[in-house]
Amino acid sequence: MADPRAWFASIADPEERYPLDEVVYTGRDGSLLQVVHDHDALAATSGAEWKRIFETRAHRNEWPYGSGVWGKKEWVCPEIDDENIISMYEGHTNLFWAERYGRELGLDDLWIKLCGNSHTGSFKDLGMTVLVSMVNEMRARGKAVRAVACASTGDTSAALSAYAAAAQIPAIVFLPRGKVSVAQLIQPVANGAIVFALDSDFDGCMEIVREVADRDGIYLANSMNSLRIEGQKTVGIEIIQQFDWEVPDWIVIPGGNLGNVSALAKGIQMMLDFGLIERKPRIAVAQAEHANPLYLAYRRGFETFEPIHARPTLASAIQIGNPVSYQKAVAALRAFDGVVEQASEQELVDATVHADRTGLFNCPHTGVALAALRKLVARGEIRRGDRVVVVSTAHGLKFVDYKVRYHRGALDTIDSEFANPPIELPADYGQVRDRLMREIDLRFPE
Ligand SMILES: *Cc1c(COP(=O)(O)O)cnc(C)c1O
């Protein structure tokens, strides 16, 4: 196989190219960059052979190919020396067969891709391993990169801090004060990042980090840095691989800054281009009603885009009014016959609570996707026999606060019909027995 290569190219002009070790995030006209792979070099290997290569590497120990991301190294970021890779064997997260939840929703074949079962508890690990590895490679090549920085709604900063700490690279994170969960805040604190909590929202933190990156030579780790997309794009490839290379009918994914849906589409497009699959899934992006600029644009047929002021939502990681990857997301939706749906706060909570009661333990962003799914099923857009995969973006344990409040009946403006608070009693057998028999009869009547 000829050594595959990759480079940055402007999404506006593919001839405008930069090497991957250059510190550059946008093209001359301000458009985003994307990583472009050497098509001919990759096409020299057949689709069947790529599948075999990916299969034999999965879950093995040979560094770094056992990682779900680096097992696809030629497709992701071929130029990094294996010993400069910073990996925590991310990826290969399980597909949960949501048999009961699907049945209760009217679906026969529903699966949840649990991307939150990962080192820092969200899919952000998939992209961050690539970005931090590239920075590590640049430093090894003698390039001066003093530190890496990101603005975050919580999960990006956790991933950046962990990978940077492993690589001994200084990390700086900007979080909107009081708007991330305790678990999300403590991760970068514990990993020794320089943590700023700013009196602003995500979009405000983003402005600051862009300025720091522009003026102070700090390397920008947000998803406008398209290296992250290269790692994140393995999610769709992995889903299809987990189905023995059968393509599902639908993939439902929550969207905020819209990097992840762009990544999903990009990975699947490569599988089509290189002959691993022959058909496409459809893609549904789910947004919180309080942060729905893509949904609004979709309703206008994508004729115009207006950033909005995102309002607070329990799905705090997608509280974004001006998504960086809007254009890439529209291209992805057009290529994959996509739809966009939204969910209110009550709908997202109801969907998570219902799914939790079938054995899942979902974060609120996954709740947004599940609520959108319910609507698409109700409308007949998604049909009973369709194979559907919902991308669960983070682990529920990172977002217990809203569950605690729900089950206490203490979520403002949310109706907590299924609150299930612990029963407090003295340690007395008689009292315990009476109560437990009553509860069993009440909850599981014969
Ligand atoms: C980052 C994130 C999202 C949104 O992904 P985008 O690429 O910004 O659309 C959704 N859910 C969780 C848990 C996240 O951390």
Residue 349: pLDDT band with limits 50, 70, 90: very high
pLDDT at site 3: 65
Kindly indicate the confidence band of residue 74, based on its pLDDT and cuts at 50, 70 and 90: very high
Q: Residue 124 pLDDT more than 80?
A: yes
263-288 tens-digit pLDDT: 999 999 999 999 999 999 999 999 99
More confident of the two residues 60 and 426: 426
Write the pLDDT tens digit of every residue in 186-230.
999 999 999 999 999 888 999 999 999 989 889 999 978 999 999
CA 216 to chain centre: 29
Backbone angles phi, psi at 45, to 5 degrees: -100, 135
Task: Decide: 21 in ligand 1 pocket, CB within 6 A.
Answer: no
Beta strand ranges found along 140-189 (DSSP E): 148-151, 171-176
What is the pLDDT, as a whole number, of residue 63? 96
Q: Please, what is the average pLDDT of the chain?
A: 95
pLDDT > 90 in the chain, percent? 93
> Span 176-180, mean pLDDT?
88
DSSP-H helix ranges across 319-363: 326-335, 345-356
SS3 of 211, please?
A: helix
Arithmetic mean of pLDDT, 111-117: 98
Ligand 1 touching residue 362 (CB < 6 A): no
Comparing C-alpha atoms, which of 393, 416, 394 is closest to residue 405? 416
Tens digits of residue pLDDT in 353-403: 999 999 999 999 999 999 999 999 999 999 999 999 999 999 999 999 999
Amino acid in the structure at residue 366: T
Percentage of the chain beyond pLDDT 70 is 99
pLDDT of 426 higher than 60: yes
Which residue is closest in CA terms to ligand 1's atom 15?
155
Would you place residue 1 in the very low, low, confident or very high pLDDT band (cuts 50, 70, 90)? very low
* Nearest CA owner, ligand 1 atom 8: 257
Distances (CA, A) of 252 to 41, 214, 259, 337: 32, 35, 14, 12
- For the record, the structure tokens of 413 come out as 């403006």
Cα separations (Å) of 419 from 83, 328, 407, 411? 50, 40, 4, 11
Q: Which atom of ligand 1 is nearest to the CA of 323?
A: 8
Query: Residue 214 is inside which H or E element, if any?
Result: helix 202-216
Quick check: bond before 281 cis, omega within 30? no
Contact 4, 41 (CB under 8 A): yes
The pairing of beta strand 387-392 with beta strand 250-254: parallel
Q: How far is the centre of ligand 1, averaged over its atoms, from the C-alpha of 324 (Å)?
A: 12
* Residue 278, pLDDT score: 98
Q: Residue 159: what pLDDT?
A: 97
Pairing of strands 171-176, 194-198: parallel
Fold classification of 95-121+229-407 (topology level): Rossmann fold (3.40.50)
How remote is the CA of residue 253 from the centroid of ligand 1, in Å? 9
Residues 154-181, mean pLDDT to the nearest whole number: 95
269 class by beta-carbon count within 10 Å (0-12 exposed, 13-18 middle, 19+ buried):
middle
Nearest to 78 by CA among 116, 21, 163: 21
Kindly list the domain boundaries of the chain, sorted by start residue: 95-121+229-407
Task: Measure the CA–CA gap between 138 and 140, rounded to whole angstroms.
Answer: 5
Q: What is the pLDDT of residues 197-206, one digit of tens each?
A: 999 988 899 9
pLDDT at 202: 87
Q: What is the pLDDT of residue 201?
A: 87
Task: Give the distance (Å) from ligand 1 centre to CA of residue 318.
Answer: 6
For the record, the structure tokens of 281 come out as: 């899934």
**Per-state percent for the chain, helix, strand, coil, to nearest 5:** 45, 15, 40
Strands 171-176, 219-220: pairing is unpaired
CA–CA dist 207, 218 (Å, integer): 14
Tokens describing residue 266: 């990009």
**Separation between Cα atoms, residue 123 and residue 395, nearest integer Å:** 9
Q: Which of 128, 87, 92, 94 is nearest to 111 (CA)?
A: 94
Question: How far is Cα 424 from Cα 408, in angstroms, rounded to an integer?
Answer: 13
